[in-house]
Amino acid sequence: MPLLPPIVNLQAFEAVARRRSFALAASELHLTASAVSHQVARLESQLGVRLFERSAHGVRLSMAGDQYLSRVGGALSAISVATDDLRQGVSNSLYVHSAPSIGSLWLIPRLKAFALACPDIALNLSAAHTQSDFALGQADIDIRYGIPQWPDLIVEPLFEEYILPLASPSFIREHRLKRPEQLFQVPLIQSNVSIVQWSDWFGGLTKLRAPDRFAVRFDRAQMSLDAATQGLGVALESATTANMHLAEGKLRPVFPPDMAIKIKAHFAVYPPRHAKRPPVEAFLSWLHGEAVRSSGAAPLKRA
C-alpha cells in the first residue's frame, strides 16, 4: 500500500481549500497560520504538486488541488462521521448520497416515515451532482440520476417518470397555451442537467424543432421548477420531482399526459458488499415501497 500523507496535513489542506484562507483554516483547527502553511507545504512536497495558487489577493486551489479535494474531502468527512458515531455509541448508521433535486423534493418529504419505520437507524444524508465514491466509504447507497452505466455496482430503478412542460396556472391562462407551437411565443426554461432536453421533447412528440435560445438556464430541477412557479416561463421537468408543486396547484401540465416522455432516470446504486447490511436492506425496502406509492400519484390534470 502506498504511504499515506499524515492526516493532520490532509486536514490542513481541506480546511484551507474550504475556507480559502490560511488564517481562517488556522482558527478552525486551533493552530497558527504558520503551522497550517507548513502542513500544507509538507503535503505538497510529499505529493510533488502545488495544491494552491498563492497571490497577494489570497489563495485558491490549483487544478491538481481541486481534483485532489474532490477525492480527499469526502474521505475525511467519512472518517469524521465514523469517529463521531463510534464515540457516541452509534452502531446502526446509514449513509445515503443523493442527486440534489430528487433528494430535496422527493426524498426528504418522506423521511419522517422512514424514521418512524426504522427508529434504530441513524440516517446521514448528503446531496451533490457528483456521484459518491464507494471505494472511499463515502456512502452506503447512492440515489443517482442519469443513464445507468455503473459497472460492478448493483443498480435498481426507482420509478418511471413523466417528463412534460409545466407552468403556473396563471401563466398558462395568460398565454392561452393549448398547442405546442405556442411555446415559441413564450419563455422556455432550460434545465442543463436533465436527461430529457427540449430538443428531445419537440423532436419526439411534435414535428417542430426546439428553439436554440432560452429565457433562463439552471443546473438543477428544483430551481427550474421554482422559476416556473414564479411565472418565468415553461419548464420541462419530471411530474414525480414536481409532485409537491403539482399537488399544491403551483404548477400544472401545459398539455395532456400523452404529450409526456416516459423515462427511468433515478436509481438506487450500491456495491454488492453492502447488500446484506441490515440498514441497507431496510432502507432499500422502504425506498422501493415509497417509489411504488408515488408512481402515477403526481396529478397530471391540466389547468
- The predicted pLDDT at position 131 comes to 84
Closest-CA residue to 157 (of 102, 79, 208, 206) = 102
The pLDDT value recorded for residue 189 is: 96
Q: What is the pLDDT of residue 293?
A: 87
| pLDDT of the residue at 259 | 93
93 membership: H or E segment, kind and range = strand 93-98
Sign of CA dihedral 97, 99, 104, 109: negative
Is CATH 1.10.10.60 correct for 7-73?
A: no
* Per-residue model confidence (pLDDT) at position 262: 94
Cβ contacts of 166 within 8 Å, gap of 6 or more: 225, 228, 234, 235, 236, 237, 239, 242, 245, 246, 251, 252, 253, 254
Residue, of 57 and 98, whose pLDDT is higher? 98
Residue 266 per-residue DSSP state: E
With a pLDDT cut of 70, the percent of the chain lying above it is 92
Q: Which residues contact 186 (CB under 8 A, 6 or more apart)?
A: 171, 175, 177, 233, 234
Q: How far apart, in whole angstroms, are the C-alpha atoms of residue 171 and residue 167?
A: 6
- Quote the pLDDT of residue 196: 94
Alpha helices in the chain (DSSP H): 7-19, 22-29, 33-47, 63-88, 100-102, 111-117, 169-175, 198-205, 221-229, 243-247, 278-294
Among the listed ranges 77-91, 158-172, 207-221, 272-286, which one has the minimum average pLDDT value? 77-91
The model scores a pTM over 0.85: no
90 confidence band (pLDDT: 50, 70, 90): very low
**89-159+265-294 CATH:** 3.40.190.10
Q: Is residue 150 pLDDT above 90, yes or no?
A: yes
pLDDT value, residue 130: 83
Provide the pLDDT confidence category of residue 138 given band limits of 50, 70 and 90.
confident
Q: What is the structure's pLDDT at 85? A: 60
Is the torsion defined by CA of 239, 241, 242, 247 positive or negative? positive
Q: Please tell me the predicted confidence (pLDDT) of residue 279.
A: 92
Higher model confidence: residue 86 or residue 265?
265
Long-range contacts of 274-281, Cβ-Cβ distance < 8 Å, separation of 24 or more: 274/134, 274/140, 274/141, 275/154, 277/140, 278/92, 279/92, 279/93, 279/94, 279/118, 279/121, 279/140, 280/94, 280/140, 280/141
User: Which of 9, 5, 10, 20 lies closest to 52, judged by CA?
Assistant: 20
What was the pLDDT predicted at 3? 76
pLDDT of residue 76: 78
**DSSP classification of residue 186:** S
Mean of per-residue pLDDT scores for the chain: 88
CATH fold match for the domains 89-159+265-294 and 161-263: yes
Could you say which of 2.60.120.380, 3.40.190.10, 3.40.50.740, 3.30.70.260 is the CATH number of the domain covering 161-263?
3.40.190.10
* pLDDT at residue number 13: 92
Residue 103 has a CB neighbour count (10 Å cut-off) of 20
Domain residue ranges of the chain, discontinuous segments joined by +: 7-73, 89-159+265-294, 161-263
Confidence of residue 5 (pLDDT cuts 50, 70, 90): confident
